[in-house]
Amino acid sequence: MARRKIIIDTDPGQDDAVAILLALASPEELEVLGVTAVAGNVPLPLTQRNARIVCELAGHADIPVFAGSDRPLSRPLVTAEHVHGTTGLDGPSLPDPQMPLQKVHAVDFIVDTLRNEPAGTVTLVPIGPLTNIARAFQDAADIMPRVQEIVLMGGAYFEVGNITPAAEFNIYVDPEAAGIVFKSDVPLTVMPLDVTHKALITAERVEAFRQMGTRTGRMVAAWTDFFERFDKEKYGSEGAPLHDPCTIAYLLEPELFSGRHINVEIETESELTRGMTVADWWRVTDRPVNATFMGDLDAKGYFDLLSERIARL
């Protein structure tokens, strides 16, 4: 099977970092063309720094990293230091990255790549706010039919919101950008909280990473140790959801996930429900389907895959 070409669009974030590691640990299946940073969990100067730190940790300083949008399309930036810490990768002490930041803007890289690669061969994997992707689609509408698929982490339906009562963080930060992406007619696969809240990184699973005896394994354990404290207290669960790696795991083993092909609209106007992913799970409207909205996963298979791949690094 040919390797799948992907661009990871990210705002690292400890769980973003694990997603990047999972992709870079899977070179037989995935060719990471580049990593594009966006403001989200923390501001852009930190997300682009963190993306480079993670690539170096994986032994892939050759992966180009691009800085993108430093704010949403039309709203003030909302960040999540209360979850991820002041750096976005709080937990272990990390040195500054040595690999360079590319001079090209992330949006231009996305546009140029989709124009230069054969149509239908590049998958976009956004695991932060969708600002960079929406700006690329606004700047160059011709690239939209060239995208193979978008596999994104964001949204919620049965699990409702994690930043407001109605909205998941990535969609809430830039709902206008999400609206553009969900109306793009690009094939969408969505990993909402409904799936990611079943991917719990328990104390036993954290310890399994630590016992790998590798620097990467210890780092993943330290990162998950740090951010799980917030979610365990918030949800009263036995572990924290490891959200973003679900996107990469789906590309590697799609059979781990199940969902429905439905209509999903983004609420942008309401003060109460801004950023809500209005998912027609029960197909009660005649609105056209536009997304595969995942609802369940095999958690054991998911963490088996993560452990096997992270141990390679």
Section 203-226 average pLDDT: 92
CA distance 205 to 219: 13
The answer to whether 18 touches 220, Cβ cutoff 8 Å, is yes
Phi, then psi, of 308 in degrees rounded to 5: -65, -40
Q: Which of 34-48, 196-210, 265-279 has the lowest mean pLDDT?
A: 196-210
CA distance 11 to 9: 7
CA distance 273 to 277: 9
Section 205-211 average pLDDT: 93
Helix (H, G, I), strand (E, B) or coil at 292: strand
* Residue numbers of the domain that contains 145: 4-310
CA distance 176 to 306: 33
How many folded domains does the chain comprise?
1
CA-wise closest residue to 109 among 71, 145, 77, 135:
135
Mean pLDDT, the chain, as a whole number? Answer: 95
pLDDT for residue 167? 98
Q: Which of 2-11, 24-33, 217-226 has the lowest mean pLDDT?
A: 217-226
CA distance 238 to 148: 37
Number of H helices, E strands in the chain: 12, 12
pLDDT for residue 214? 95
CATH code assigned at 235: 3.90.245.10
Is 243 part of the annotated catalytic residue set? yes
Tens of pLDDT, residues 110-139: 999 999 999 999 999 999 999 999 999 999
Q: Which of 60, 84, 197, 243 is catalytic?
A: 243
pLDDT for residue 29? 98
pLDDT for residue 224? 87
* Distance, first Cα to last Cα, the chain: 23
Q: Which of 53-57, 125-129, 238-242, 301-305 has the lowest mean pLDDT?
A: 238-242
pLDDT band at 238 (very low <50, low <70, confident <90, very high): confident
pLDDT band at 55 (very low <50, low <70, confident <90, very high): very high
- Above 70 in pLDDT, residue 1? no
Q: Which of 17-21, 74-78, 92-96, 226-230 has the lowest mean pLDDT?
A: 226-230
CA distance 50 to 111: 23
CA-wise closest residue to 123 among 101, 102, 152:
152
pLDDT for residue 236? 62
pLDDT for residue 44? 98
Q: Which of 74-78, 92-96, 262-266, 280-284 has the lowest mean pLDDT?
A: 92-96
Percent of the chain with pLDDT over 90: 91
CA distance 260 to 293: 5
- Above 80 in pLDDT, residue 235? no
Maximum distance among all Cα pairs of the chain, rounded to whole angstroms: 53
Tens of pLDDT, residues 150-181: 999 999 999 999 999 999 999 999 999 999 99
Helix (H, G, I), strand (E, B) or coil at 211: coil
Tens of pLDDT, residues 283-311: 999 999 999 999 999 999 999 999 999 99
CA distance 193 to 201: 14
Section 190-202 average pLDDT: 95
Calculate helix-pair angle for 175-182, 131-139, nearest 10 degrees. 60
pTM of the complete model:
0.97
pLDDT band at 275 (very low <50, low <70, confident <90, very high): very high
CA-wise closest residue to 44 among 20, 18, 65:
65
**Cis omega (within 30 of 0) on the bond before 13?**
yes
